[in-house]
A = this chain, B = another copy of it.
Amino acid sequence: MRTAIITVGKEVLTGKTINTNLATISRKLNEIGIDVNRSIVIDDIEEEYYNILDFCDSDLIIFTGGLGPTIDDITRETVIDYFQVETYLDKDILKDMKNYFDRINMKMEDTNDKQAYFPKDSIILNNNLGTAPGVIFKADNKTIVLFPGPPHEMIPMLEELILYLKNELKIKLYSKGFRMVGIGESSIEKALTGFYNKHPLVNVAPYAGVGELKYVFTSSNKKALMETMNHFYDLFNEYIYGNLEDTLEGVIVKKLAEKNMIISMAESCTGGLIASKIVNVSGSSKVFKESFVTYSNEAKIKHLGVKEETLKTLGAVSEEVAYEMAKGTSKKTSADIVISVTGIAGPTGDTPGKPIGLTYFGLSHMGVTKTYRNIFNGNREMVRIRATSFALNLVRKELFK
């Protein structure tokens, strides 16, 4: 099924808006085995629609943008004109639109009426978050899809399109995935030699972020999907922290709450990032009460009882200081589990034997304090984000032991 995605809008062409719709739609189509062959961004000029539609020999053509109520929004009428399909006025949609304008206390202009005209035999995709409904219709043996541009309006309609296509193409597809931390995509791919050949029925797709990773598995064969995922899990379970909808901090907060445990932290180079991640989980107040950002030596001594001697002889970025920071935080708080971080985020501050990215961690739990060491790549911000993911993963592994 040759597929084209056509994005309409000056904002994307001028670079004011980054075209995330392309990636969102492509990934979803990819999961049901449809490859996008071309993606085109055009200006909202009638002639351009005709040029592009003349050019596209695709079976599935998806437009996003230009469906709104203003006179600049010409996608629906232009595409309908191009394919010369018959239309009708959908009175329910018209009523819904009037209600919407009432709700937001605005007068509905006559120009808005045009949004309620649809090709005969089309499938209408309701828009609960805006005024412009989407639509799927057939013309010239092609499937034409019109989506609004704003991602939060488009995404629910995309789900409907996927269901439609699965049904239309008699695709029964299952899709699941893992979220992972503590390992890079290249290391996984190296370890997967032979894996792909063993599982030809399943599409396996990695998506990399900074300090994190997800793997999505898709197949029409449920049994093959489960076998592939089980095999993958056996290989990498120590790095897998949850399903696609999970977050690392969310998994930790949930587990802490189950175990009735309190977490605290002492942060130097991460400077509050770890605490901030935990606080971003709604309901974290049950498991998090307080933490320290101790960036200077004096603060480490004063608040956490790190020994001046240790700082002097071994330096702030050392295993011993990470150990004492964690110990001190345990003493100063009622936390059941404590993580501490001290490292060199760069771009300056490295010394012989202590490169940029070098970071030590302390983990206190049940009276025992362990230390960990790692070197992170990237600029200052990336080192700090990677150290944060690493620290959260240490906590996770401890909690799930």
Bound complex: CA A30 to CA B10 (Å): 11
Taking A55-B55, A293-B292, A384-B280 as contacts, is the C-beta distance between A30 and B43 under 8 angstroms? no
**Please, how many angstroms separate the alpha-carbon atoms of A51 and B4 in the complex?**
14
Number of copies: 2
A217 within 8 A of B: no
Q: A41 contacts which of B38, B51, B282 (Cβ < 8 Å)?
A: B38
With A279-B271, A295-B289, A299-B289 given, is the CB distance from A17 to B23 under 8 Å?
Answer: yes
Give min CB distance, A306 to chain B, whole Å: 12
Give the residue name and chain of the B residue nearest to A272 (CB). Answer: B272
Contacts of A205 in B (CB 8 A): 14, 16
Measured CA separation A282–B271 after assembly (Å): 12
A52 to B, closest residue via Cβ: B38
Which residue of chain B has its CB nearest to the CB of A285? B295
The answer to whether B269 touches A295, judged by C-beta atoms less than 8 angstroms apart, is no
Q: Can you name the residue of chain B whose Cβ is closest to the Cβ of A279?
A: B271
| Distance A333 CA – B294 CA, assembled complex (angstroms) | 11
Interface of chain A: mostly helix, strand, loop or mixed: mixed
Q: A39 interface residue, CB < 8 Å from B?
A: yes
Q: Is residue A380 contacting chain B, with contact meaning CB distance below 8 A?
A: yes
| Contact partners of A39 in chain B: CB under 8 A | 12-13, 40-41
**Chain B, residue nearest A13 (CB):** B36
Given known pairs A271-B280, A285-B296, A290-B295, the reply for A38 and B30 (CB within 8 Å) is: no
Interface set, chain A 32-65, CB cutoff 8 A to B: 35-43, 48, 51, 55
The smallest C-beta distance from A155 to any residue of chain B, in angstroms, reads 13
Contact between A41 and B40 (Cβ–Cβ < 8 Å)?
Answer: yes
Contact string, A340-360, partner B, CB cutoff 8 A, digits 1/0?
000001111000000000000
Provide the residues of chain B in CB contact with A17, threshold 8 Å.
23
Q: Measured between C-beta atoms, what is the minimum distance from A325 to chain B in Å?
A: 12
Task: Report yes or no: B280 in contact with A270, Cβ–Cβ below 8 A.
Answer: no
Any B CB within 8 A of the CB of A125:
no
Q: Within 8 Å CB of A271, what residues of B? A: 272, 275-276, 278-280, 288
A271 CB → nearest B CB, Å: 3
B26 and A15 contact, CB distance less than 8 A: yes
* One of B15, B55, B272, B299 near A276 (C-beta < 8 A): B272
Give the residue of B55, B282, B381 whose beta carbon is less than 8 angstroms from that of A280.
Answer: B381
What B residues does A273 contact at CB under 8 A? 272, 276
A12 B18 Cβ-Cβ under 8 A? no
Indicate whether A365 reaches chain B with its CB closer than 8 angstroms. no
Residues of B within 8 Å of A270, CB to CB, are 276, 279
A19 to B384, CA, bound (A): 25
Q: Known: A15-B22, A30-B14. Contact between A272 and B293, CB under 8 A? A: yes
Q: Which residues of chain B have C-beta atoms less than 8 A from A400's C-beta?
A: none
* Beta-carbon nearest neighbor of A24 in chain B: B15
Nearest-neighbour CB distance to chain B for A6, whole angstroms, equals 10
**CA of A344 to CA of B205 in the docked complex: distance in angstroms?**
38
Q: 8 shortest A-B CB distances, which residue pairs?
A: A272-B272, A271-B279, A15-B26, A290-B299, A272-B275, A15-B27, A289-B296, A15-B23
26 contacts across the A-B interface (CB closer than 8 A) = A12-B22, A13-B39, A15-B22, A15-B26, A15-B30, A17-B23, A18-B18, A19-B22, A37-B43, A38-B48, A55-B55, A270-B279, A271-B275, A272-B272, A275-B295, A279-B384, A282-B347, A285-B295, A289-B295, A289-B298, A289-B299, A290-B294, A290-B296, A291-B295, A292-B292, A292-B293
